[in-house]
Structure 1
């Protein structure tokens, strides 16, 4: 069966590792998914340019070279918690969103920690192997109870907190070291939150680690730290390989400083097969219980993380906000739903400004902008998504041809590189009572320091030209039923849905103008879907602009300039893009002062 045009334009996702079919099934409803296991690094780089999404677990190394080759890539999804195998700074610079599943496997990791703790305390792996070898060594395999013992936890995050609650359920005392943990949360879980690692190590009978792998945590437990622990204590690591120094751990086991270790993660995975390596000796050591990175390996966890990251991939490819992006600001769930329609609105306002007010040939315009949020939207704690959407809308009409992706991840970097300055303001001005929320964009020339002791003589034409260049431009918008609407363009009051192909005509508001424009478009076989006439309602681009924005707009001549009530904008929604010939015909034959074609 031949592929349809819709199939040919569907986004593509690459999955080079095994993921739960539940999540991939969600993806396949709207995008194409290629499962290509066993690819080399070179093969990945060769094929990655064809994909918009990359889904990995822990084996695939998402390097800077791979990301640079991924010209269409919008998202890297890591089905798990850590992103050690992803070059996040390189992805950020390229505007590629990196998402993970921070909560999909926390229960599995916590349960595996407790399973290893009990296995180590009761010598279960050794006892199982002994019995299978037809031995009966009850006296050699005497273990210890955990009740009444102290469990030390490094990192009281989501996994650490669940482990703490499970340990308390077994009658253990729990102490934890975490500079960012909430004292009230620790108190509620009956955890003694200590001030430093140095306070925790001497009191722990069992020590478990639940921190990410960072420069500050690499080798966190080495010779000196293990030397501070009780003689005969035990260590667990179900977090990340390398946090515990494998050489130091092996030495402590052999010296008897610690009497047991339980390791699920290694510095190099799979571990080096060299029998003389520290990892190989740990695996072979009779006092070490080892598993091959099984912390998240439950049916439920694999389903959870797969569904979670696949849902996020679909959201990002649809232009929605990421909920678990590791290289983007965290958006509170309560704010997420409220922000989404306004993200679309602000992006369209930025695009409308660039297409309507700037020259396509010069690709130049204002570089200083005020964004004022009024009403309910001003209550949102983070406006980062709105800022990013504006930068994307502002630059996309120029940059899309270059394949450059602007989003919440790299918007600030893009703005800085292009010299774009955005002043974000929140206002409770009563002028917004007509709308529950209103966003106003003011584009203005950058502030310039006055020249000292300088006198110029300029002609009237030059003066008028300078004033024209310093003219402010204003666009206001609101949302209705979660759809974006434009309510103002400069002095003209309007209300139209910001969607599709638009023709915006600036003309004198005289009888017959609509018929002339409609007739000219009809001759070019351009159908008009809707039309809105916007009268010149505002005075000098100031009235009904939020007070904070008004201060930036006022000039000494504002008070005396009258409103041109005979001018109007005619906004027409049409069924296709029109060429310069049609636009020129509207100006020459339709009595239109100026015209622009906009695609939103």
Structure 2
């Protein structure tokens, strides 16, 4: 992502008002520790009482930086008026109150502080864990009402109990270490986590929810709220758990299906919950969220996960340090929209940055999300062949791969990855990337070819780089369009854009029609399709390009009539429109001869 043209005003003019120093507006209360970093170099205008939308628009033209928390709405109108603005900083994690797209179009960098509240969120999780175990909330309420109900408030110890963690990121890992300190056994589900890092923290990674839910005494979720994690736990999942289990949420409202959680508590499927976040905050009167917040088996808090003095100081120091760096001409470490490419490299590298980012996203969603594989702990090779191999500065390409690999598993969609922090993010995720330059293009007809290889290192190889379970994606650029030319063992030529369904199937008559009927019943429109064959197979056509295939399913059956029957394999790659939910994937997986199905959003 590259910000748009930067005006002369953004390079330092103050739009008609002369000032010896660049000016920074702070319309909310921000910890003075961070603001002190800026005082010597900049004119800091702190207005903790807040500004109305019109006041902000009227004032912003003469400022170069804007630092906000959650109350100030940084709209497209504000950004358009801020003709001198170079940076908008959010003293916190979320940037929902900032129009990031408008900022990018204006060439304004948006930064936040994704790490400032890690300790606070982890400690609040443990606080809720202990509070639910010992009925602290109910005990406090009833005691203040003049009741002495010791017999009704018998709790459980957490030592020697099992804590399950879904999402072993920074907060999840911090919670894990605290839980180990309490004497708990910790299990975790996270296909993107490094197995080595988990072992060092005394955490056992398990394959999936089916292995985790039946055995845990406490369950906490630390994942971003994405399409793949919305309603991650519903009625079926709660019924798999112990009746004595308790669940915690200091991450995002909506990861637990709130109606299902309410039913689980009412029906006695689980014993209790500790909740700090809800789908709508504050919960509307009479809503399911409000019923949960008031439930006698729930310890509820009003989104206090980051509300500590230290966390507020940390985020202030973090974002103010980044503002200082940006206004001095540097690149930030936690930008939501910082460029992967510097302006002078844009024309040459932009198509390949796009290609490699798409390859990374395809890898994570196809090999990890659909097949239960891993990103963390695997080794990757990014091979540049042909003319591309002659480019010396490949930092933007490296960053593009990291961005693609993490985009489907992060709140920001990978927008916070830039050429400054990509290597750090890769290390944190346990991702090892080697770049290989080769002038030879292996007989390719393309001027430049990019190959992404991922493989396991054999733990029995005693340090040798012996490979196993190799996974491959190849791609090329034609004009301004990017294409995937190989996926695993299959040759193809498709553009990785939009919503894709990739079906691995036996290449035999009836497959295309069966898939078309399933999608038609579910209201999913097939916009284009391609059949990709095994690289060295002899199965007729290499690919089949169709537009609006669902309107001509009968005609497509002719392609299957020339196949050799079961034993031959193919990939059916579909570009689709409409809602593709779990039911659609289940229906497709149940079709005869379909080996597996991936849903890809790029």
Please give the TM-score of this superposition, normalised by the length of structure 1: 0.53
TM-superposed CA distance for 1:135, in Å, is 2.1
Give the corresponding residue for 2:308: 298
TM-superposed CA distance for 1:191, in Å, is 1.1
- Aligned mates of 1:164, 1:373 — CA distance in 2: 45
Deviations 1:159-214 (A, max 9, x none): 11110011111111111111210011111112111222343223222111111233
Q: Secondary structure at the match of 1:142?
A: coil
User: Paired residue for 2:68, among 56, 69, 87?
Assistant: 56
Q: Secondary structure at the match of 1:55?
A: strand
- Aligned mates of 1:330, 1:102 — CA distance in 2: 19
TM-superposed CA distance for 1:18, in Å, is 2.3
TM-superposed CA distance for 1:150, in Å, is 1.4
- Aligned mates of 2:70, 2:233 — CA distance in 1: 23
Give the corresponding residue for 1:258: 270
Asked if 1 retains the 8 angstrom alpha-carbon contact of 2:66 and 2:85, the reply is yes
Asked if 2 retains the 8 angstrom alpha-carbon contact of 1:12 and 1:51, the reply is yes
1:193 aligns with 2:193: no
Q: Secondary structure at the match of 2:66?
A: strand
Asked if 2 retains the 8 angstrom alpha-carbon contact of 1:263 and 1:291, the reply is yes
User: Paired residue for 2:30, among 19, 24, 43?
Assistant: 19
TM-superposed CA distance for 1:27, in Å, is 2.3
- Aligned mates of 1:216, 1:238 — CA distance in 2: 18
User: Paired residue for 1:270, among 262, 279, 282?
Assistant: 282
1:173 aligns with 2:185: yes
Deviations 1:49-81 (A, max 9, x none): 443222223344444454444333222222223
Identify if the C-alpha distance between structure 1 residues 386 and 33 changes in structure 2 by more than 3 Å, giving closer, same or farther. Answer: same
Identify if the C-alpha distance between structure 1 residues 252 and 109 changes in structure 2 by more than 3 Å, giving closer, same or farther. Answer: same
Give the corresponding residue for 1:136: 148
User: Paired residue for 1:287, among 287, 290, 297?
Assistant: 297
1:308 aligns with 2:321: no
- Aligned mates of 1:270, 1:46 — CA distance in 2: 31
Give the corresponding residue for 1:108: 120
Deviations 1:494-545 (A, max 9, x none): xxxxxxxxxxxxxxxxxxxxxxxxxxxxxxxxxxxxxxxxxxxxxxxxxxxx
- Aligned mates of 1:43, 1:179 — CA distance in 2: 47
Query: Which has the larger displacement, 135-144 or 195-204?
Result: 195-204
Identify if the C-alpha distance between structure 1 residues 381 and 188 changes in structure 2 by more than 3 Å, giving closer, same or farther. Answer: farther
- Aligned mates of 1:386, 1:233 — CA distance in 2: 41
- Aligned mates of 2:390, 2:23 — CA distance in 1: 37
Ranges in structure 2 where 5+ consecutive residues have no aligned partner: 1-15, 349-386, 401-417, 420-435, 439-478, 480-602
Identify if the C-alpha distance between structure 1 residues 90 and 235 changes in structure 2 by more than 3 Å, giving closer, same or farther. Answer: farther
TM-superposed CA distance for 1:280, in Å, is 1.8
TM-superposed CA distance for 1:40, in Å, is 4.6
Q: Secondary structure at the match of 1:302?
A: helix
Give the corresponding residue for 2:570: none
Ranges in structure 1 where 5+ consecutive residues have no aligned partner: 332-342, 351-369, 388-407, 410-424, 428-447, 449-600
Identify if the C-alpha distance between structure 1 residues 271 and 47 changes in structure 2 by more than 3 Å, giving closer, same or farther. Answer: farther
Asked if 2 retains the 8 angstrom alpha-carbon contact of 1:321 and 1:385, the reply is no
Identify if the C-alpha distance between structure 1 residues 95 and 198 changes in structure 2 by more than 3 Å, giving closer, same or farther. Answer: farther
Give the corresponding residue for 2:19: 8
Deviations 1:435-460 (A, max 9, x none): xxxxxxxxxxxxx9xxxxxxxxxxxx
Q: Secondary structure at the match of 2:19?
A: helix
- Aligned mates of 2:215, 2:29 — CA distance in 1: 42
Q: Secondary structure at the match of 2:124?
A: helix
- Aligned mates of 1:61, 1:221 — CA distance in 2: 33
Q: Superposition pairs for residues 354-369 of structure 1, below 5 Å? A: none
Identify if the C-alpha distance between structure 1 residues 385 and 38 changes in structure 2 by more than 3 Å, giving closer, same or farther. Answer: farther
Select the structure of larger CA radius of gyration.
1
TM-superposed CA distance for 1:13, in Å, is 2.5
Asked if 1 retains the 8 angstrom alpha-carbon contact of 2:50 and 2:72, the reply is no
Give the corresponding residue for 1:207: 219
Asked if 1 retains the 8 angstrom alpha-carbon contact of 2:231 and 2:255, the reply is yes
Q: Secondary structure at the match of 1:8?
A: coil
- Aligned mates of 1:217, 1:86 — CA distance in 2: 24
Q: Secondary structure at the match of 2:148?
A: coil
Asked if 1 retains the 8 angstrom alpha-carbon contact of 2:60 and 2:78, the reply is yes
- Aligned mates of 2:194, 2:399 — CA distance in 1: 30
Q: Superposition pairs for residues 79-478 of structure 1, below 5 Å? A: 79-272=91-284, 274=285, 276-328=286-338, 382-383=395-396
Q: Secondary structure at the match of 2:151?
A: coil
Give the corresponding residue for 1:420: none
Asked if 2 retains the 8 angstrom alpha-carbon contact of 1:11 and 1:52, the reply is yes
Deviations 1:536-557 (A, max 9, x none): xxxxxxxxxxxxxxxxxxxxxx
Deviations 1:330-379 (A, max 9, x none): 89xxxxxxxxxxx89x79xx9xxxxxxxxxxxxxxxxxxx99999xxx6x
Q: Secondary structure at the match of 2:152?
A: coil
The alignment yields a C-alpha RMSD, in angstroms, of 3.7
- Aligned mates of 1:223, 1:386 — CA distance in 2: 40
Q: Secondary structure at the match of 1:235?
A: strand
TM-superposed CA distance for 1:7, in Å, is 6.8
Please give the TM-score of this superposition, normalised by the length of structure 2: 0.52
Asked if 1 retains the 8 angstrom alpha-carbon contact of 2:322 and 2:332, the reply is yes
TM-superposed CA distance for 1:279, in Å, is 2.1
